Structure 1
Amino acid sequence: MQEYLDHKLECPYCGTIRLRIPADATESTEIRCDDCGKPLGTWGELQDDFVKQGGHDGVFRLSRGRIKRIE
């Protein structure tokens, strides 16, 4: 089982996984890194990537724009 998230969720510019997600985000809303402000993709793309990496069946949970480790 994978222990770390990567791909679209990790900012390619600063390396952190902190998402700036508006409360009214839709599938096509552009999401930016909360640390450096660079674009990461659309909300739909980021959710798909999260699920692809184990998502809700893995060791992480995505809730209200926050990624939490499940232990």
Structure 2
Amino acid sequence: MADAQYLNHKLECPYCGTIRLRIPENVEPHTPISCEDCGEHLGMWDELQTDFERQGGTNGVFRIDKGRIKRLA
């Protein structure tokens, strides 16, 4: 598993390096997700959630709440 203090892989934009996802209100597993900062495509919602869970999900430092990544503690 990746270092629990940082998110990486699919959640981090490979184009601009930020972790800000543009997630539509009625997101579905097959919904394309892009970077909020630069607009580049990051992957499908299901892929991004799977990557987040693989990195620790709610057992790590971050969690996804209503499409937003929140830092725990």
- What TM-score, normalized to structure 1? 0.95
Q: For 1:22, give the aligned amino acid.
A: P
Q: What 5-or-longer segments of structure 1 have no aligned partner? A: none
Q: Equivalent residue for 2:14?
A: 12
Q: How far does the alpha carbon of each residue in 1:3-27 deviate from its partner, in whole angstroms, 9 at most, with x for none?
A: 0000000000000000000011100
Q: CA deviation at 1:2?
A: 1.3
Q: CA deviation at 1:65?
A: 1.8
> Once superposed, which parts of structure 1, at least 4 consecutive aligned residues long, lie more than 3 Å away?
none
- What TM-score, normalized to structure 2? 0.93
Q: Equivalent residue for 2:67?
A: 65
In structure 1, how many angstroms separate the alpha carbons of the residues matched to 2:36 and 2:50? 19
Amino-acid identity (%) = 62
In structure 2, how many angstroms separate the alpha carbons of the residues matched to 1:60 and 1:33? 18
* Alignment coverage as a number of residue pairs: 71
